[in-house]
């Protein structure tokens, strides 16, 4: 039952996209998001589409892997589409039946917003598919460093993220084990109504919380035993460095963004 969790969806590889500095990749993703939002009419999604599919191609990702990231979004997508089609009104009526009106503008808007959602998710998926969680939180930490000036706990946040990511598989394994142990004692997690099912979770959640707290305590102790005392004066094992490849990626991305902005103004 835990096979569907795609939190750690990183696909290891050694392509240009994989090698890019995580900081660069995060910034480029922001540029890409800006691109998606500047698109004025559905036709111009060609540009972010070309961008995202070319990047995916360079990263050696399969089309199917990309599509999988949209799957959890399907209900939201359908809802967005339906709401926009039926409730946005418009001049050119295409179809009218009782109280339902479908206009050309509404249809266009529905396609527009659905595509926007799809491309947002596709782009961020390329980021998470090609960047390991550790590199990602490293990148976020450095990018957020300026916030330290206003006493924002940047290092702590990044450390928490890294630890949380590290423990997801461990906790999944633990859940599976406790679940099996309770099943062996005749517990039933699968049948009954909502309330019965919620109640049936107690024998699973209590041991899981107990062990999560125990683990947290042990980890804190182990970190302190190795003299961890927060981010102050801490150096890195892997120092991030921008390379020519990063520069090139920036140039390409910004030219595409400019192109889009120009098109949005001209049309």
Partner 1 sequence: MPIQVENLSHTYMPGSPFSSVAIHNLSLTIADGEFVGILGHTGSGKTTFVQHLNGLLMPTEGRVVVNGTDITARGAGLRELRKQVGLVFQYPEYQLFEETVVKDIAFGPKNIGCTKEEIDERVRWACEQVGVDYETTGKASPFEISGGQMRRVAIAGVLAMRPKVLILDEPTAGLDPEGRRSILKMIQKLHRDNNMTVIMVSHNMDDIATLATRLIVMNKGTLEMEGTPREIFRQAKRLKKIGLGVPQGAELAQRLIREGYEIPDDLYTLEEVCDAVLKLGEVSRGV
Residues that bind partner 1 (CB under 8 A): 3, 174, 177-178, 180-188, 202-203, 206-207, 210-211
Least separation in angstroms between CB 121 and partner 1: 22
To the nearest whole angstrom, how small is the minimum distance from the Cβ of residue 207 to partner 1?
Answer: 5
| Spatial contact of 71 and 150, defined as CB atoms under 8 Å apart | no
Q: Which of 190, 203, 48 lies closest to 115 in space, CA to CA? A: 48
Q: Which is nearer to partner 1, 3 or 98 (CB)?
A: 3
Tokens of 36: 């998606």
Least gap, CB of 181 to partner 1 (angstroms): 4
Please identify, using beta-carbon distances, which residue of 182 and 263 lies nearer to partner 1. Answer: 182
Complex with partner 1: residue 81 or 189, whichever CB lies closer: 189
Inter-residue contact 41 to 22 (CB < 8 Å): no
Q: Which is nearer to partner 1, 195 or 227 (CB)?
A: 195
Radius of gyration of the chain (CA): 24
Handedness of CA 256, 258, 260, 262 (dihedral sign): negative
Q: Which residue, 186 or 233, is less far from partner 1 as judged by CB?
A: 186
On the CB side of 16, CA atoms within 13 Å amount to 11
Q: Which is nearer to partner 1, 12 or 233 (CB)?
A: 12
> Residue 42 corresponds to which tokens in the numbers above?
């559905």
Minimum Å gap between C-beta 13 and partner 1 is 12
In the numeric block, which tokens belong to residue 178?
A: 């406790």
Contact 228, 216 (CB under 8 A): no
Q: Which is nearer to partner 1, 162 or 211 (CB)?
A: 211
**SS3 label, residue 94:** strand
Tokens 């801490």 sit on residue: 234
- Whole-Å CA distances, 50 to 53, 55, 245: 5, 8, 19
The rounded distance, in Å, linking the Cα atoms of 19 and 214 is: 37
CB of 23 to partner 1, least distance (A): 29
CB of 210 to partner 1, least distance (A): 7
In angstroms, what is the minimal distance from the CB of 63 to partner 1? Answer: 17
């Amino acid at each position: 039952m835990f096979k569907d969790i795609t939190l750690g969806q990183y696909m290891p590889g050694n392509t240009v996209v994989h090698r890019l500095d995580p900081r660069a990749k995060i910034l480029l993703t922001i540029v890409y998001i800006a691109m998606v939002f500047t698109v004025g009419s559905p036709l111009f999604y060609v540009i972010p589409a070309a961008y995202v599919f070319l990047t995916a191609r360079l990263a050696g990702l399969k089309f199917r892997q990309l599509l999988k990231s949209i799957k959890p979004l399907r209900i939201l997508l359908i809802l967005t589409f339906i709401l926009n089609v039926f409730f946005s009104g418009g001049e050119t009526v295409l179809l009218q039946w009782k109280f339902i009106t479908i206009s050309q503008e509404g249809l266009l808007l529905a396609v527009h917003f659905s595509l926007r959602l799809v491309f947002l998710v596709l782009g961020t998926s390329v980021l998470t598919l090609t960047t390991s969680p550790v590199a990602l939180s490293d990148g976020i930490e450095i990018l957020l460093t300026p916030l330290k000036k206003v006493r924002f706990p940047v290092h702590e946040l990044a450390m928490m993220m890294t630890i949380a990511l590290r423990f997801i598989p461990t906790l999944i394994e633990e859940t599976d084990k406790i679940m099996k142990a309770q099943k062996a004692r005749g517990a039933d997690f699968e049948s009954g109504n909502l309330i019965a099912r919620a109640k049936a979770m107690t024998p699973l959640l209590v041991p899981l919380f107990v062990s999560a707290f125990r683990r947290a305590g042990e980890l804190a102790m182990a970190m302190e035993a190795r003299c961890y005392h927060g981010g102050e004066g801490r150096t890195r094992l892997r120092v991030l460095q921008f390379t020519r490849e990063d520069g090139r990626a920036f140039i390409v991305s910004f030219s595409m963004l400019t192109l889009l902005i120009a098109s949005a103004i001209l049309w």
